[in-house]
Structure formats: structure tokens, C-alpha cells
Chains A and B, each alone.
Chain A
Amino acid sequence: EDQVTQSPEALRLQEGESSSLNCSYTVSGLRGLFWYRQDPGKGPEFLFTLYSAGEEKEKERLKATLTKKESFLHITAPKPEDSATYLCAVQAGGNNRLAFGKGNQVVVIP
């Protein structure tokens, strides 16, 4: 069974204090690893897709990286508007099933 574990569960950062979120996964035949941002009461917002080890993607203050066992979402010099829950999901095998981790809840304090 596909497994996705995210750590830490919750993180409080001072504005400008860079940090990283971890997503470790155990799947057979990874087709893609996805990062989403979710604000309370809203649907997840797509951020990145990573397909293979060594791949990196960037968007504003966010950078996602992928190895054969885990992915990191680096937040550089975060601002309060980066406060959200960040969800990691993987898709593996021949179906369309996304397996989600429990999320990293990030709070950035001004």
C-alpha cells in the first residue's frame, strides 16, 4: 500500500525564517509527487509536480525537490501570507488514485 508521511505536523516560523517541510513516501512505480497548498475551508491549490529523483521546481519563495525516498518543500524568507497547510500527494502504478499525507500546518508570525 502506498504510504506518505509528512513532517513536522505543525511549524511556527518568524517572518523571514527559512525552513523545510518533509514528505517521505513508500510507493511502487511512482508516476508523480505533488505539492498543494490549502487554506482553511478552501480546496487544495496545486503548487508543483515532481516526476523523478533530482528534479527541482520553484515558485516565488517555494522550492520543491525530490529524491528516491522523499521530497522537501523549502520556504525561503516566508511571509505571513505563506501560512497554510501544505499537502504532499503521490500517484503510483496504473490508476488515478492520489495518496495524501496528513499535511504540514505552517504559521508565519509577523
Chain B
Amino acid sequence: DTEVTQTPKHLVMGMTNKKSLKCEQHMGHRAMYWYKQKAKKPPELMFVYSYEKLSINESVPSRFSPECPNSSLLNLHLHALQPEDSALYLCASSQDRSKPEAFFGQGTRLTVV
């Protein structure tokens, strides 16, 4: 089983709203990632959690707030977003250094209006 589940699949939010994206994996992976992807561009790394601790923050604006409640769950809290934040948000996970390949969820299509 190489499944990473993301919810919701689609989200439309206003610039004053607060919303959260959720990601879950049950592969026992200890690294989890958030990526942002614009149309016809490759995924851009936002955050990495390793063993439930934030290990990489790619200078992401504070209106994006990640959270890793346990080893299977990853959340991305959204507040006061801008229209340019509209994108496909991807969650991924990987096992560890000996098996570094990352498996991606199907993404959340976010539209900020």
C-alpha cells in the first residue's frame, strides 16, 4: 500500500477565511512533506517534517502554518490567503534515508477568491 490520502480534493475560500488541508498515510513513513504546484510548473517544496519535527521551512509566508499531530497525519492551516496562493497543494511521505522515494497524494485544488 503506497497511499497518501488528502482531503478535501477541492477547496474554495475567501481571503478572510481560515481553513485546513489534511493528509494521512499509514505506511509507517517518518518524513512528510507539503508541496505547492502551479499549472505547468514542477512541485515546489514548502515544508518537511521528519519524525514529527519541522525540519525544513522554505521561507513560506506565515499565512501557511503546518502541523504534524502524529506520525500518520499532516495538516496545513490556511489563514488570510491571497488569490496568488491558488494552486494544487500536494502532500507526500517517505520512509527514511534508506528508502528516500516520496509518495504523493492526489492533492487539494485550492482557489482563493
Contacts and interface: CB of A to CB of B under 8 A. Distances in A.
A87 B31 CA distance: 21
Nearest to B2: A46
Nearest to B99: A49
Interface of B is mostly: strand
Interface residues of B, number: 27
A42 B56 CA distance: 24
A77 B72 CA distance: 40
A95 B88 contact: no
Interface string B52-66: 000110000000000
Contacts of B102: 34, 46, 98
Given A43-B90, A95-B56, A100 B101 contact: no
Interface stretch (B12-20, B43-51, B75-83): B43-51
Contacts of B103: 46
B108 to A, nearest CB: 10
Interface residues of A, number: 21
Contact of B48 (A43, A87, A97, A103): A97
A44 B43 contact: yes
Contacts of B94: 96
Nearest to B58: A97
A77 B59 CA distance: 44
Interface of A: 31-32, 34, 36, 41-46, 49, 87, 91, 95-98, 100-103
Interface of B: 2, 4, 6, 31, 33, 41-43, 45, 48, 50, 55-56, 88, 90, 92, 94, 97, 100-107, 109
